């Protein structure tokens, strides 16, 4: 990327920002009082920090498995603010030749993306909106690192629940799936309130005032994202049950709030 890829950005510090709220849940420092106030309302409803940590740890397990399965290119959509155990860090520990493209449209995220420019020429950040798959699939920086004729891991981690039904998140996934070569991996995590519908309703009200909505979906709706894929064991399940590394992963509170899964394209 060049300096021209970035425009000066003055953050809106008065509106809760979904990416900065997530950063706060994870214990980060890239957030403002409005973000913390909204996040604390969510945290009062349940173990939000544990929920986000569980999701982040799943990301690491899934990327590691994809790399062990031979995937050498990763497209992370709606990446959010950089934190520990980013996709490129996990993938390159298994396969140093891995190529990673991060995609986000949020100026908060992009303002922090400069740090990734210094890694090497196999990792980049692209400013695009996941709701416009054609723009991402045609982006020259994406195509410089991602060869869609070869297997690729496409990640929708904690992003699809920010898309409304009118924005058709299943159609978004299908557009990427259509370009993915056989052997490619689809990785999805999505919030649900199946176990706690009343709490879910209260959480959605908090996000009504944030930069992105919160849309809880049930198991059947989330499983639809994997149509056309062979879902790897243990299937689409709560995050604690997806190949936990240890007892801490299995027993972390709040795991029932995330359904997660990985599929392989035949």
CA atoms of 184 and 163, how far apart (whole Å): 23
Q: Are strands 73-77 and 153-157 parallel, antiparallel or unpaired?
A: parallel
The percentage of residues in the chain with a pLDDT greater than 90, rounded to a whole number, is 76
Q: Residues 64-92: what's their mean pLDDT? A: 91
pLDDT for position 184: 98
Is a pLDDT exceeding 70 seen at residue 4? no
Is a pLDDT exceeding 80 seen at residue 223? yes
pLDDT for position 30: 81
The neighbouring-strand residues paired with 263 are: 186, 231
pLDDT for position 225: 98
pLDDT in tens, 188-212: 999 999 999 999 999 999 999 898 8
The percentage of residues in the chain with a pLDDT greater than 70, rounded to a whole number, is 92
Is a pLDDT exceeding 90 seen at residue 172? yes
pLDDT in tens, 27-50: 888 888 999 999 999 999 999 999
pTM of structure: 0.91
Torsion angle (degrees, nearest 10) of CA 56, 5, 151, 69: -30
Q: Residues 136-152: what's their mean pLDDT? A: 97
CA atoms of 92 and 104, how far apart (whole Å): 21
Quickly list DSSP for 194-252: SS-HHHHHHHHHHHTTSSS------HHHHHGGGTTSEEPTT-SEEGGGSS-SSHHHHH-
- Compute the half-sphere exposure of residue 188: CA atoms within 13 Å on the CB side of its CA: 32
CA atoms of 249 and 172, how far apart (whole Å): 30
pLDDT for position 56: 94
| Cβ atoms of 204 and 178 closer than 8 Å | no
């Amino acid at each position: 990327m060049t300096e021209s890829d970035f425009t000066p950005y003055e953050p809106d510090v008065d509106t809760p920002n979904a990416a900065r709220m997530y950063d706060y849940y994870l214990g980060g420092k890239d957030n403002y009082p409005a973000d913390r106030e909204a996040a604390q309302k969510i945290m009062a409803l349940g173990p939000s920090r544990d929920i986000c940590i569980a999701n982040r740890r799943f990301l690491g397990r899934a990327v590691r498995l994809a790399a062990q399965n031979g995937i050498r290119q990763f497209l992370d959509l709606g990446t959010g603010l950089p934190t520990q155990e980013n996709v490129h860090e996990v993938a390159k520990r298994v396969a140093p030749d891995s190529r990673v493209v991060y995609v986000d449209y949020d100026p908060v995220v992009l303002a922090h993306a400069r740090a990734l420019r210094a890694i090497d020429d196999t990792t980049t950040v692209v400013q695009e909106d996941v709701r416009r798959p054609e723009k991402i699939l045609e982006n020259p920086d994406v195509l410089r690192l991602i060869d869609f004729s070869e297997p690729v891991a496409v990640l929708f981690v904690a992003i699809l629940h920010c898309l409304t039904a009118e924005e058709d998140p299943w159609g978004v996934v299908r557009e990427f799936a259509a370009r993915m070569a056989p052997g490619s991996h689809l990785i999805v995590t999505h919030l649900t309130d199946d176990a706690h519908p009343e709490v879910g309703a209260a959480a959605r009200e908090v996000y009504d005032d944030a930069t992105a909505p919160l849309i809880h979906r049930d198991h059947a709706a989330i499983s639809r994202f994997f149509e056309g894929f062979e879902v790897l064991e243990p299937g689409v399940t709560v995050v604690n049950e997806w190949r936990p590394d240890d007892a801490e992963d299995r027993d972390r509170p709040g795991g029932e709030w995330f359904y997660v899964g990985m599929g392989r394209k035949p």
